[in-house]
Structure 1
């Protein structure tokens, strides 16, 4: 295939957009590098062989002990997929990481739940402006902190929480991991979705036993701000998971499987890693004093058993291959491998700016569970994506029909300048390909 200037722009723009989507006793071993290849399965082209800068980036991060592995996938407008891979599933490991290795994607669960919301809207079972209290009456009389950063005095909310608010982080809800007037309250009450085992680094009360119990507990806590007035990262998509379950009449896991994972061929994505697949699960690490400390490994992974309730905001594990299929469908109006596998209307809703009037976000817009670029100074216009707490990143560019995914596993996600490094490496590769084609 030819890598002309248009394709070079699309691929470079994809990773540039990806670089802007991050939400914000280990031993070193010699890295094992698999190199780049292209194709869906056995279908190959010559282009990825020239991804020397991307390969060098992945190799460098592994060789320097920054991470055990790195897998990067780019879906091209031609339908071809290019992969760059380096490292092993764990430090000092022997099993190479590839596009079928399993990763904890954490907040990259949010765009999937955003799509599930759009599908229910398409079914006529919800609207963006449906009040949450229509589904869970417990939210009909919410209180708001007088000082958003300080627990204590409250006042009545001026407006109801809506579905739009939940999927755009404008509901006034908080997060136990984000400082605010409700963060410690959430932790004390066990409102820590996605936590599967007690965490000594972030102690909390006992978690509720179901999604309905979780929602009832959240409804008893004050809001940080009035709904629809401010963007604040939150448990909104976790609450949305409960709404999806109640409105659809089936467990959240089943809805996602039937309506998203099965149609897209995402065979390895779920809230639990089956026992027979644990051999493909990467080890997760925490960077402490310059060393990677293993915090979850396949021999005793918390992902081998269900959480108290499924976290729509951060509970999924997936592979690079699966998640790139998801992002490719978002970039192509629900089309995948020449078939319309998801409704175009749902994809358009997910990737459009859904923020309430008067609310802004750093990229200009925010869609269903992910950022949308509506300001040219923040990235390619119309690009959509999000990142995960363990370094994973994903982006889709609907205008260019291009998508990209990066899988790795380290925390905290901002420990390294990986998004910027990634953008620079791909830009260099695309420019080199252009020069070669022009000669």
Structure 2
């Protein structure tokens, strides 16, 4: 039985039923939408030992895609090593996390962890520390001076273990772009590439949430990871798939939404995975039985209001030229921003000023560039900007 409580002032219903829409965390089964081609391609890469460099704007479902494929390919003979570089401060922490994650993924008992730590390090003396649950949790540390001379042992650890155990490994590294914050990041990338490119039983899946930084790491010929593997650009999920997903999700919980309003939800947020799920969720919790246009519009207003403080902060930090650049984008000018007409219309100053503003907005992650055209990175921010700034 589903219990409901209605708030007369805003038509919001609280019910015990679980929302079919998920956002703010990675998903692999429930709430996962389409991506059949991407799943097949990434799955083939994992199974055939092909390195993958996964690029897309943030919140487009990279982590969910990788998680889904990991669940489908993981076996005793194909193991997955997962690590996240978010929050890591330096190269030493990376080696510690890589070594710990690799041994955990390839050994199941504490005794095996200790044995592996001793067996696979010849020049390094690992320091093992136990977590709150000594049966399931431990960390490996190293003396930095010793590690700096023999870092290759850690970088080659996945390959040595895979060869020793007769298995294949896939090392998945999230927030890979964070290594650019390390001291001497170019040298560190060269170290990774020089060792990893020789691995036969290990492949790597590198991805992160800052698209422009990931593209600079993988697409520039001067960078160590240029042509390191199969570069996958994650595109938006198609409108037809979103409509089908939204309608089915409502149906599965005894509520109804027609194709037109489902299409309207996806169109409002430009088919952005995170926001389609979030806006659909807000419509769902506000619906007792049948979705109406009014419910969708009120949900959108609530979502804009939720984000308004963040958007105001981002906008207040902009320079005059950056603000003018966004105003041009909000008017639909995605190319030719350095032309005299656009510069004059939006008082952008000069082509050099336009280039400087573009670079700053990319670094602030407020815009993205696709096919040499600039767009708002966050479609909800674009809507907010058009309503409250672009006047």
TM-score by length of 1: 0.21
Q: Which structure would you say has the larger RCO, counting Cα contacts within 8 Å and 6 or more residues apart? A: 1
TM-score by length of 2: 0.23
